[in-house]
Amino acid sequence: MKGIIFNLLEEVVIHRHGDAAWDGLLDQAGVDGAYTSLGSYPDAELEALLGAAATVLHVQPDECLRWFGREAMPLLAERYPAFFTAHNTTLPFVLSVNSIIHPEVRKIHPGAQCPTFRFEHGTDGALYMGYRSPRRMCSLAQGFIEGAADHFGETAIVEHPRCTAKGDPECLLSVRVEVRETADAL
């Protein structure tokens, strides 16, 4: 896993819970925490850090990964504004992940193994996203989508009808987006 993902986790944890919390996670996970953005590090280290965070936050590991993804999106928007400014709403942004975002990420971060999603527009109006990756980080995808919706002032309702963790051959996320009602709009 690329160092940038570890850097984002560090920033999110420190922002929400402080420096001592991050140091505590490094201790619990038994890792030194020296991650450079362009380096590559074992997936097991990320899993250990997320596992430690889940224990401290009293949430399931998948919930922790989802939380991390949602919280990380504003940081990605700061670092890679061009991916976001090209769109006004969530769905076109999400739909650009295979064609623009992840291909660019692979150029900037050589060795990045970003997933490719299978997109399908459902007759029920939802966007369906098939996901298969040995990393099994479907909850990160869910959090990224929810965080993207936050960025565009929308709410993403993401369901997860199929999951490889339940024995399904692929994960399937369904995404519906609603415009968030603001005080101004009322």
Q: Using CB under 6 A as the criterion, which residues of the chain lie in contact with ligand HEM when the complex forms?
A: 1-2, 4-5, 76, 80, 83, 94, 97, 101-102, 105, 109, 112-115, 133, 135, 137, 140-141, 144-145, 148
The CB-of-20 to ligand HEM minimum distance in angstroms stands at 27
Q: Minimal distance in Å, beta carbon 138 to ligand HEM?
A: 7
CB of 73 to ligand HEM, least distance (A): 7
What single DSSP character describes residue 181? P
Q: Which is nearer to ligand HEM, 85 or 123 (CB)?
A: 85
Give the whole-angstrom CA distance, residue 82 versus residue 57: 33
DSSP conformation class of 40: B
82-111 as b/e, with b when 16 or more CB fall inside 10 Å? Answer: ebbeebeebbebbbbbbeebbebbeeebee
Residue closer to ligand HEM by CB (options 26, 177) is: 177
Q: Rounded distance, CA 15 to CA 76, Å?
A: 15
Report, in Å, the least distance between residue 141 CB and ligand HEM.
Answer: 4
Question: Smaller CB distance to ligand HEM: residue 21 or 112?
Answer: 112
Taking the least distance from each CB to ligand HEM, the nearer of 133 and 164 is 133
Nearest to ligand HEM of 22, 93 (CB atom): 93
80 Cβ neighbours under 8 A, 6+ residues apart:
101, 104
Structure tokens at 137: 């980080």
| Smallest distance, ligand HEM to C-beta of residue 125, A | 19
User: Residue 177 phi/psi, 5° resolution?
Assistant: -125, 135
